[in-house]
Amino acid sequence: MQATMNAGLNFDITAEQEAIQRLCRELADDLIAPAAEELDAKSEFPYDIVAKLAELGLLGIPWPEKYGGIGADTVSYALAVMEIARGDASVGITLAAHTSLGSAPFYYFGSEEQKQRYLVPLAQGTTLWGFGLTEPGAGSDAGNVQTRATLAGDHWVINGAKAFITNSGTRITGGTTITAWTGMRPDGRKEITNLIVPQNTPGFSASKKYRKMGWRASDTRELSFVDAQIPAENVLGGRGRGFKQFLDILDGGRISVAAVSLGLASAAFEAALKYAKERQAFGSAIGKFQAIQFKLADMKMEIEHAKLMMLKAAWEKDAGRDYVMSASLAKLYAGEVSRRVCNEAVQIHGGYGFMDEYPVSRYYRDQKVNEIGEGSNEIQRLIIARLLGL
């Protein structure tokens, strides 16, 4: 066979992609999965694990070396998030949100000075950063932002609230980039601007952590702004560009959320497969029964399918192609697969699956938000339908 520039369809990943995936798999097995039960029970943020990820360069995978990152591609990043989430979905979403939501806006829209000041410590993992889009009264209806920012001389005055903001209140959080309504556009719609709000801003506060069904070790908070003041220069990417910018950010974020769903689904599948081989009933392992075999075969099929969709979206992004449709399809499908797989994993475990001692019970709680966060299943279908010209 002759090697050519365009080698056509090829399912091999590169040696570096494989090495990164393998490293993350080892970290998940050695450090993350063993800690997951306790972190979940205590709703404790995994500071030690995040410090280890930072030390190894995992908090800056896609960003160039000159900004403190590794300069790896989206495929590497997606595989890394998937393997880390296989250890624990909370750690997976911490990594995904840090990179795709907290850091990406600085990389894509920041000035050189903002990149040096904000992106470098984020890529090195010494600080985390929130992405404040959702509000208590505006989730997917993000254009209807209520948080108001008014320019008063050399500073902005911000009033309002943000909801469900990941990584916004840890000990190492440096701040949050928010969307705010900064005026009216000629067409009568709100002018939306991205503003950089450092953690120590007067009038800005992060509430205590939410009590959640799943993802309990991840840091999720409500943010409030009461005459919060930031310097006028803390605009990210230009006044009035906020709406378009966060839509772009969300497109990229979907690949990593698909990766979180996939990692979780893989963990649930592996637990169910192991249990099916060990658990005895009616004189044999339950994995010998067709009812269980078919469940596991379906789980395997769906995970494989979702993984191919995620990798295709990542590959398209790396190739500089339009990946919006693929990312949305992958995010939607992987979220639904994680629901079905985690559900069947509990079912295969029977009564034990309902007990906290078995990780599948945690997986079942962790999966639900995959169908809600970063664009619900319904919103993904809307995006896909619009791209179909409907």
Partner 1 sequence: MKIVVTVKLVPDPNAEKKIDAGSKRLVRTGIETVLNPYDEYAIEGALKIKESLGGDTTVTIFSMAPAASKEVLRKALAMGADDAVLLTDPALEGSDVRGTAYAMAQGIKQTGFDLVICGGLADDGSTGGVPGALAEYLGVPGFTNCRQVEVAGGTLKVQRETDSGYQVVSGPLPALVSVTMAIGEPRYASLKGIMGAKKKSIATLALAALSVDGAVGGDGAKTEVRAVAAPPVREKARVVEAPDGAAGARAIFDLLKEKKLV
Count the site residues for partner 1 by CB under 8 A.
Answer: 15
Quote the least distance from Cβ 73 to partner 1, whole Å. 11
**56 contacts partner 1 (rule: CB under 8 A):** yes
Reduce the DSSP state of residue 220 to 3 states and report it: strand
Selected binder of partner 1 within 23, 151, 285, 325 (CB under 8 A): 23
Scan residues 97-116 and list those touching partner 1 (CB under 8 A): none
Q: Which is nearer to partner 1, 71 or 183 (CB)?
A: 71
Q: Which is nearer to partner 1, 15 or 388 (CB)?
A: 15
* Three-state SS sequence of 78-90: HHHHHHHHHHCHH
The H or E element spanning position 223 is strand 220-231
> Who contacts 41 (Cβ-Cβ below 8 Å, separation ≥6)?
356
Q: Which is nearer to partner 1, 23 or 382 (CB)?
A: 23
Quote the least distance from Cβ 85 to partner 1, whole Å. 17
Task: Return the amino acid letter for 141.
Answer: D
> Who contacts 126 (Cβ-Cβ below 8 Å, separation ≥6)?
54, 172
Q: Which is nearer to partner 1, 9 or 15 (CB)?
A: 15
Helix, strand, coil tally for the chain in percent (to 5): 55, 15, 30
Catalytic residue among 302, 316, 336, 374: 374
Quote the least distance from Cβ 16 to partner 1, whole Å. 6
Q: Which is nearer to partner 1, 68 or 160 (CB)?
A: 68
Q: Which is nearer to partner 1, 58 or 309 (CB)?
A: 58
Pairing of strands 128-132, 173-184: parallel
Query: For partner 1, which stretch binds (CB under 8 A), given 18-26, 207-215, 266-274, 277-285?
Result: 18-26
Q: Which is nearer to partner 1, 124 or 207 (CB)?
A: 124
Q: Report how far residue 150's alpha carbon sits from residue 157's, in angstroms, rounded to the nearest whole number.
A: 5
> Who contacts 259 (Cβ-Cβ below 8 Å, separation ≥6)?
78, 79, 81, 82, 85, 92, 96, 310, 334
**19 contacts partner 1 (rule: CB under 8 A):** yes
Quote the least distance from Cβ 18 to partner 1, whole Å. 9
- Chain centroid offset of residue 185 CA: 32
Here's the x/- map for partner 1, 57-76, by CB under 8 A: it reads as xx--x--------xxx----
* Three-state SS sequence of 34-64: HHHHHHHHHCCCCHHHHHHHHHCCHHHCCCC
Q: Report how far residue 292's alpha carbon sits from residue 38's, in angstroms, rounded to the nearest whole number.
A: 30
Selected binder of partner 1 within 1, 9, 15, 390 (CB under 8 A): 15
CB-CB contact of 52 with 44 (8 Å): no
**96 contacts partner 1 (rule: CB under 8 A):** no
Q: Report how far residue 342's alpha carbon sits from residue 47's, in angstroms, rounded to the nearest whole number.
A: 27
CB-CB contact of 135 with 146 (8 Å): yes
Q: Report how far residue 340's alpha carbon sits from residue 297's, in angstroms, rounded to the nearest whole number.
A: 13
Quote the least distance from Cβ 314 to partner 1, whole Å. 17
Here's the x/- map for partner 1, 36-55, by CB under 8 A: it reads as -------------------x
Q: Which is nearer to partner 1, 23 or 151 (CB)?
A: 23
Quote the least distance from Cβ 278 to partner 1, whole Å. 16
Scan residues 123-182 and list those touching partner 1 (CB under 8 A): none
Would you call 374 a catalytic residue per the annotation? yes
Which residue is it, tokens 């959320």? 257
- Angle of helix 290-318 relative to helix 74-87, nearest 10 degrees, comes to 150
Quote the least distance from Cβ 35 to partner 1, whole Å. 16
Quote the least distance from Cβ 50 to partner 1, whole Å. 15
List residues with catalytic annotation.
374
What is the binding site for partner 1 (CB under 8 A)?
15-16, 19-20, 23, 26-27, 55-58, 61, 70-72
